[in-house]
Structure 1
Amino acid sequence: MKNIFLTSIKTIQQTPKTMLATYATIYFLWGLGMNWFGAEVEIARFSYWWQVITCYILYMVPISILLKKYSFFNQYAYGLVAMGILEFLGYWLQTSYAYPDNILDKLFNPQNFSLGMAMFFALYFPAGNWLVNKVHNAVFQKK
């Protein structure tokens, strides 16, 4: 277990600073946008705006970096585990708020809400890695 942790830390530390900045910028803006959208259509939101930083940058960015070498399916599968934990803790600790009787509750029923959210947000890992790679290459490509 110690070796896995140390290897993971090394992988993150070896990520170029420009790539880290690209991840942080994209995920921060993505998180703000999703939090705004979730609140606007009354699906779900963070209890505090700064949770975008803790969830999207401090949690999702390192996981994305560790998963980027895997296939789309494996990134999604591992991302589903990561997001399942995050969704469970967010609603259990009441740091995330699900609006009562929201559109997803009506569509899938309240018992499936967190599972649906985890399944949706697990797509962030392969989609985020693809987007960050495209943006990073476009902005920092050597000429």
Structure 2
Amino acid sequence: MKKLINKHLTTLKTTPKTLLLVYVIVYFLWGLGMNRFGAEMEIARFTYWWQVITCYILYMVPISILLREYKFFEQYAYGLVAMGILEFLGYWLKTSYAYPDNVLDHFFNPQNFSLGMALFFALYFPAGNWFVNKVHSVIIPQKTE
């Protein structure tokens, strides 16, 4: 276990600073946008706006970096576990608010709401890694030797 933790810490520590900065900016803007969208559509929102920082930057960015070398479905599967835990804790601790009788409740019913949210948000890991890599390669072109 210690070996695995050290490997993950090394991966995080050796991530290029420019790549890390792109992750932080992209995920922060993405989180603000999704929180706003969820509130405007009266689906769900964070209880406090700053939870975008704790969830998207402090939780999702490191997980994304650890998953970035995996294939799409592996990123999605691991992301599903990570988002399942996050969604469960968010609604249990009441740090996330689901609007009653929201549009997703009508499609999937209230009992499936957080499962649906976890299934959707697990796509953030492969999609986020793809997008961040594209943005980073435009900003910092890779040297060909």
Q: Same fold (TM over 0.5)?
A: yes
Alignment of 1:90-129 (within 5 A): 90-129=90-129
What is the alpha-carbon distance in structure 2 between the residues aligned to residue 132 and residue 79 of structure 1?
16
Alignment of 1:39-50 (within 5 A): 39-50=39-50
1:60 corresponds to 2:81: no
What is the alpha-carbon distance in structure 2 between the residues aligned to residue 136 and residue 28 of structure 1?
15
TM-score (norm 1): 0.98
Q: How many residues were matched structurally?
A: 143
What is the alpha-carbon distance in structure 2 between the residues aligned to residue 99 and residue 11 of structure 1?
38
Partner of 2:69: 69
Deviations 1:47-87 (A, max 9, x none): 00000000000000000000000000000000000000000
Structure 1 portions without partners, runs of 5+? none
Following TM superposition, by how much is the alpha carbon of 1:3 offset from its aligned partner in structure 2, in angstroms? 1.3
What is the alpha-carbon distance in structure 2 between the residues aligned to residue 129 and residue 142 of structure 1?
17
Q: Residue type of the partner of 1:23?
A: Y
Identity over the aligned pairs, expressed in percent?
A: 75
Following TM superposition, by how much is the alpha carbon of 1:17 offset from its aligned partner in structure 2, in angstroms? 0.2
Following TM superposition, by how much is the alpha carbon of 1:8 offset from its aligned partner in structure 2, in angstroms? 0.5
What is the alpha-carbon distance in structure 1 between the residues aligned to residue 89 and residue 142 of structure 2?
42
Following TM superposition, by how much is the alpha carbon of 1:140 offset from its aligned partner in structure 2, in angstroms? 1.0
What is the alpha-carbon distance in structure 1 between the residues aligned to residue 15 and residue 8 of structure 2?
11
Q: Residue type of the partner of 1:35?
A: N
TM-score (norm 2): 0.97
Structure 2 portions without partners, runs of 5+? none
Give the SS at the match of 1:49. Answer: coil
Give the SS at the match of 2:58. Answer: helix
- Say what the alpha-carbon RMSD is for the aligned residues: 0.8
Give the SS at the match of 1:45. Answer: strand
Q: Residue type of the partner of 2:6?
A: L
Give the SS at the match of 1:138. Answer: helix
Give the SS at the match of 2:97. Answer: strand
Following TM superposition, by how much is the alpha carbon of 1:45 offset from its aligned partner in structure 2, in angstroms? 0.1
